[in-house]
Amino acid sequence: MQIQDLPYPDPGVPDARSGPRFLWWLFRNQLGGQCKALAWGLLHFTSVAALPFCVGAAVQAVVDRSESRLALAGGLLALAGAGSAIGDTFLHRTAVTNWITAAARVQQLLARKAARLGSALTRRVAAGEVVAVSTGDVEKIGWFVEALSRFTAALLTVVLVCAGLLVYQPALGVVVAVGLPVLALAVLPLLPRATRRADTQREKAGRATELASDTVAGLRVLRGIGGEELFLDRYRRASQEVRHAAVRSARMWSLISAIQVLLPGLLLIAVVWHGVGLAREGRITVGELVTVYSSIMVLTYPLRHFEEIAMAYSFSRPSATRAAGVLALERATDTAGTRPDALPSGDLYDPETGLLASAGLLTAVVCGDPDAAGRLAERLGGHPAQGGAPVLLGGVPLDELPLDSARTAVLVQDKDPVLLSGTLRELLDVPASGAVEPRAALAAAQCDDVLAALVQGSLGAADAMDARITERGRSLSGGQRQRLALARSLLTDPRVLVLDEPTSAVDSHTEARIAQGVRELRAGRTTVVFTSSPLLLDRADRVVFLHDGEVVAVGAHRELVLAEPRYRAVVTRETDDEAAPDGSAALTDALRHDAVHDDVLQALEEIEEKA
């Protein structure tokens, strides 16, 4: 796999049982690139290691006044230099390719997992953790996978040089062969502490990222209550904790680096001292002493890769563990689909609560617990709880459909939908049936004032469709964001549309228009709306009331207000102190509330007719 061939057609199925297993899976899937890096690394390191032997031979040729041997040593020196240059060039090229392709594979796996889990991902893993895994952790994982082949080449080179020195000059080769393993293993006792400090730094950085994300997301609210300074102070403290943790981690790694410099220096002093004594006794030649001395100097270069691989593994292991934790998450019923791709049609039924949304009707669902309503909306979208019964569409379990088919059949708009940055045209460029025009969806969601605000806030945008939306739509009010998200959902025109509190942030007049617009645009299609707004409830074909997780009443809104006290209490926000023994006061208020809504709607219709 080359960089220009990215992304992968299929990134594969990862081994997410643990961090080390995930790293090994990545290495095996890049075996071709790793072998290339190993080959170029061996060429580079062996060429570098051959330089001392060439220099020693040249020095001894000068001492012996042998021109032929000097010419041969010069030729070998030039050949070793060319091999070193060529090997280094292609090693770097291959290593960078391995790094980028490994990181790209992990990012594709994470993106695929996020798409498969949907909104359930951030309910199971903190948003800051997801961001940290998909950015910094991906780079660390790619670093270790890339460094592994270079370390292997360096290790083989060190073994070859030690063996060569033992054969070339046994008296000094023994000292080198004993000293080099000590150099390589000397830092091992420090690695656990360095790893713990690196983990602490990573955890604090993740918390700081999550705090920053929450602060930015709620900046509008924080400014409204004057609390931005409080949260900024919290982030400053978290940032300082990250800095202190990074300094402590850097101190440990600098100590390891210092040891990697000190010990080879001590070994070099020992070899030179012992070698000088041997040369005085005539047991070795000057060229042999220069060769051994130069070999130790050169070996400090491949020995650096021992430190790098230790650092790379220390950083990548926890990163791989976190990535594997995300990749190991599964939907409660995660199958490739055992049903054909033909989309089912019919009623939407939830066996756990007894909720039935009849085909082609607008069904309103009233639930006193907003959290329970959110879980039910998620279940209707094909994400049942672990061990829960699947939702049926036309008698077909949603979890038996391929994921793409299930999402085409049922679309769930969350209570807090997200708007991506870009133009309005790009926001509405979503998979759709084509039966609903963007203008019709925007009109049904009452987005006229939103379009005007977008044009006014975008310089040079004559058409509202070309107006830009800021990140997460933060330049818009909550009601404006909600209406744009509703228009996007209406545009997709799914078989079944589930809306969770789609008008909670708009005023009553706009809500009345939205209720009418949704009813008209979705005529003949199955729509489920979770709401407690009388305006939406009065426009529904049928209203389903849930209490303690079960359907307890079904009917028209006004019928349930008269017949079901618990329903009336939820819809009118009635408290125990306000409730009359017979419910007459609340009933009167509810009926008056509906009458006022009817008057408002009638007045709005008259204004539209006159216009």
Nearest to 411 by CA among 431, 429, 435: 431
The C-alpha atoms of residue 574 and residue 465 are separated, in whole angstroms, by 43
Domains of the chain: 3-327 (1.20.1560.10), 348-447+478-610 (3.40.50.300)
pLDDT at 294 over 80: no
Other C-beta atoms lying within 10 Å of the C-beta of residue 445:
28
**Residue 219 corresponds to which tokens in the numbers above?**
């900046």
Q: What is the mean pLDDT of the chain?
A: 82
Identity of the amino acid at 470: T
Q: In what order do the strands lie in the sheet with 348-350?
A: 355-357, 348-350, 392-393, 396-397
**Residue 21 corresponds to which tokens in the numbers above?**
């297993």
- The string over 133-152, giving b where at least 16 C-beta atoms fall within 10 Å of a residue's C-beta and e elsewhere, is bbebbbbbbbbbbbbbbbbb
**Residue 362 corresponds to which tokens in the numbers above?**
């607008």
Binned at pLDDT 50, 70 and 90, residue 283 comes out as confident
Binned at pLDDT 50, 70 and 90, residue 41 comes out as very high
What integer is the mean pLDDT of 109-128? 75
**Residue 581 corresponds to which tokens in the numbers above?**
């023994």
The C-alpha atoms of residue 13 and residue 28 are separated, in whole angstroms, by 12
pLDDT at 535 over 70: yes
Q: Which tens digit of pLDDT belongs to each residue from 421-434?
A: 888 888 888 888 88
Nearest to 127 by CA among 419, 371, 316, 326: 326
Answer for the pair 518, 490: CB distance below 8 angstroms, yes or no. yes
Residues across the chain: 611
Instruction: Give the pairing type, strands 355-357 and 348-350.
Output: antiparallel
pLDDT at 229 over 90: no
The C-alpha atoms of residue 142 and residue 6 are separated, in whole angstroms, by 15
Q: Assign 470 to helix, strand or coil.
A: coil
Binned at pLDDT 50, 70 and 90, residue 543 comes out as very high
Q: Which tens digit of pLDDT belongs to each residue from 550-601?
A: 999 999 999 999 999 999 989 887 655 555 444 444 444 544 445 444 554 4
What confidence score (pLDDT) does residue 304 get?
79
Q: Which tens digit of pLDDT belongs to each residue from 160-176?
A: 888 887 887 887 778 87
More confident residue, 274 or 514: 514
Binned at pLDDT 50, 70 and 90, residue 331 comes out as low
Lowest mean pLDDT among 1-5, 177-181, 310-314, 579-583: 579-583
Q: Which tens digit of pLDDT belongs to each residue from 445-457?
A: 999 888 888 877 7
Residue 121 burial by Cβ neighbours in a 10 Å radius (0-12, 13-18, 19+): middle
The C-alpha atoms of residue 139 and residue 136 are separated, in whole angstroms, by 5
Give the whole-number percent of the chain exceeding pLDDT 90. 25
pLDDT at 397 over 80: yes
The C-alpha atoms of residue 371 and residue 350 are separated, in whole angstroms, by 17
